[in-house]
Amino acid sequence: MVGIIGAGSLLASFLLTVMCLNQVGASGPIQSTLYHFMSIDRLSLDFGFLVDQLSVWMMMIITGVGFLIHVYSIGYMHDDEGFYKFFAYLNLFVFSMLLLVMGDNFLMLFFGWEGVGLCSYLLIGFWYTNRDYGTAARKAFIMNRVGDLGLLLGMFFIIKTFGSLAYKDVFAQLAGADPAMVTVICLLLFVGAMGKSAQIPLYTWLPDAMAGPTPVSALIHAATMVTAGVYLVTRCNGLFSMSPDAMHVVAIVGLVTAVFTAIIGLRQNDIKKVLAYSTVSQLGLMFLSLGMGAYVSAMFHVTTHAFFKALLFLSAGSVIHGMGGEQDIRNMGGLRKYMPVTFWVFLIGTFAISGFPLLSGFFSKDEIFANTYAHGGAIWWAMASVSAVLTAVYMCRLLYVTFFGEFRGTEEQRHHIHESPSVMTIPLMVLAVLSVVGGLLNTPHFMHLPGSQWMAHWLAGNGVNGTPIVPMAEVHLSASTEWSLMSFTTALALLVIVALYFVYGKVANLPVSDQKQTGFTKVVANKFYVDELYNSLFVKPTEALSKFLYQYADIQGVDGVVNGVGTGVSKLGAIFRRLQNGNIEYYLIGMVVGAALLFLTIFI
């Protein structure tokens, strides 16, 4: 029942979003101001919504993928005692996320931004009785706060520079703005995006966030919330385009994140951790694309990524469900025979993310690489290709180790294994279809397919200012260059897919346990010790400082004063206690005399 309400509300909002899509397509952006929020000096803040081509695009992803994940959750969570709570949180999340993308000013975006952060916290710590999960939730929350501070400061600078937070006011005044100021704003906004979208150096919370239930990982930590940073930058493309320095920073951070986390992903043995690092890596690619000025490509990748990463997470969830909670891929193997549907959809997801020809990831990644080559040059392109190859490697490793070979779990698990119920597999199949055909939304122009660059044209529609919301990126490459770039990356991906089959699929080439690894692989398996580094750099000194302050400032200073006041008051109270004898009559006479005295002082 709860599941029906939860998923049904999502279905309803999906249908409404489709109506919005039609209306936006027919008559342009819809803007409505619900009410005036507050006024401070000259700054006036409204509670208003703006549904334009970009917003409605995000809304389609959120409600569409969200609906599928809700349906899936009905099956996945049905045994959980927190079933009701789960759907309440999940719906709250979708609400916040929609607020984020539908707001017509930065304040509304910030409301949604904090709302999704809160829901993320609640859902990561959903099984709060486990101490580690609670810690993971807190980590995510605190790291997001760091980013949020950047966003907040960015908003303050926007107010200072433009005197308004509404998108249409800010973007209308871009021409006359101080470039240095714009750079500062962009960098601060990007810090916010870094936190939410898990970019270096604020990425470590996302792998830990896998403590939450798998549908949460799929919805929040793969498909929607983490792409809020991409949305933010895309929304502010006017600002970012004015500041080449900021763009450069975005591109570098994106590229480094993409490669770095892809390397870490190579040596993870937890099925969800691999996908988490993969998500960070893909987000890095999106930011690389943003940094190259290819906003549409980034949004395109957000879309396809939402499809295939949600698919991968959900099918991973299906595996975990079937294995009775097992997440270590070393204890799996041979699941192809036991869970055929899950295997096939996982295969499709893996191929889509690896860039198998004509699947969705193929188109969106190719666009990013073409833009990188056009705007950044061969070296940038080569680095990005490395990350793509690494992506294919760890995804195929995951696929082959999990589904091929012999089963390696316990006898008990072998009996338990079962294909998931259809309430879970049907959303998987829908997502699989989307992962296959999703790329057709924005086929490259040099292929001359019907409807080529449809999404780019859609997003380039005029916004409330009468200017394009997301201008189309101009790629000055000859068709032959584009073809050869595409062929090269595709060939690499195919090569990896086949080669890995012989390494992991054909023979039982198991990943060794973490302790036995040596040299570089050990460093990689330990995620480059980034967590430990952060621990000793930030957490330990903070703890030491707070211990010091607790010992001296708090116990001796503050507590001394507080206790002194407390003792004094209680002594004074002992004296006045006699007045309070509990008899109403004394109180009454006191009240009358008091009232009389009051009149005396006021009127006479």
Dihedral (C-alpha) 458, 460, 463, 468: value to the nearest 10 degrees? -170
Helix and strand tally (H, E) in the chain?
Answer: 27, 2
Q: Which of 22, 13, 10 is nearest to 67 (CA)?
A: 10
CB contact at 8 A, 124 and 211: yes
- Which is nearer to other proteins, 449 or 597 (by Cβ)? 597
State the minimum distance, in angstroms, from the CB of residue 575 to other proteins.
17
State the minimum distance, in angstroms, from the CB of residue 572 to other proteins.
19
Exposure letters 490-513 (e unless 16+ CB within 10 A, then b): bebbbebbeebeeebbeeeeebee
Tokens of 186: 């962009």
- Which is nearer to other proteins, 513 or 580 (by Cβ)? 580
Q: In whole angstroms, what is the distance from residue 98 CA to residue 116 CA?
A: 10
State the minimum distance, in angstroms, from the CB of residue 578 to other proteins.
11
Work out the angle between the directed axes of helices 378-403 and 340-354 (0-180°, nearest 10). Answer: 170
- Which is nearer to other proteins, 479 or 595 (by Cβ)? 595
DSSP 3-state of 104:
coil
State the minimum distance, in angstroms, from the CB of residue 577 to other proteins.
10
State the minimum distance, in angstroms, from the CB of residue 409 to other proteins.
60
State the minimum distance, in angstroms, from the CB of residue 35 to other proteins.
22
Tally of CB atoms within 10 A around 204: 21
Dihedral (C-alpha) 51, 56, 61, 62: value to the nearest 10 degrees? 20
The answer to whether the peptide bond before residue 201 is cis (omega within 30 degrees of 0) is yes
Strand bridging mode 30-40 / 43-51: antiparallel
- Which is nearer to other proteins, 558 or 595 (by Cβ)? 595
Show Cβ contacts of residue 493 under 8 Å, excluding neighbours closer than 6 positions.
354, 355, 356, 388, 389, 392
DSSP 3-state of 451:
coil
- Which is nearer to other proteins, 478 or 583 (by Cβ)? 583
Q: Angle at CA 101, nearest 5°, toward 100 and 107?
A: 45
- Which is nearer to other proteins, 520 or 586 (by Cβ)? 586
State the minimum distance, in angstroms, from the CB of residue 601 to other proteins.
10
State the minimum distance, in angstroms, from the CB of residue 602 to other proteins.
8
- Which is nearer to other proteins, 575 or 602 (by Cβ)? 602
Q: Maximum Cα–Cα distance for the chain, whole Å?
A: 102
- Which is nearer to other proteins, 495 or 597 (by Cβ)? 597
State the minimum distance, in angstroms, from the CB of residue 570 to other proteins.
18
- Which is nearer to other proteins, 175 or 600 (by Cβ)? 600
State the minimum distance, in angstroms, from the CB of residue 595 to other proteins.
6
For 233-293, give the DSSP string: HHHTHHHHHT-HHHHHHHHHHHHHHHHHHHHHHHT--BHHHHHHHHHHHHHHHHHHHHHTT
Q: What is the contact surface with other proteins in residues (CB under 8 A)? A: 580-585, 588-589, 592-593, 595-597, 599-600, 602-604
- Which is nearer to other proteins, 572 or 589 (by Cβ)? 589
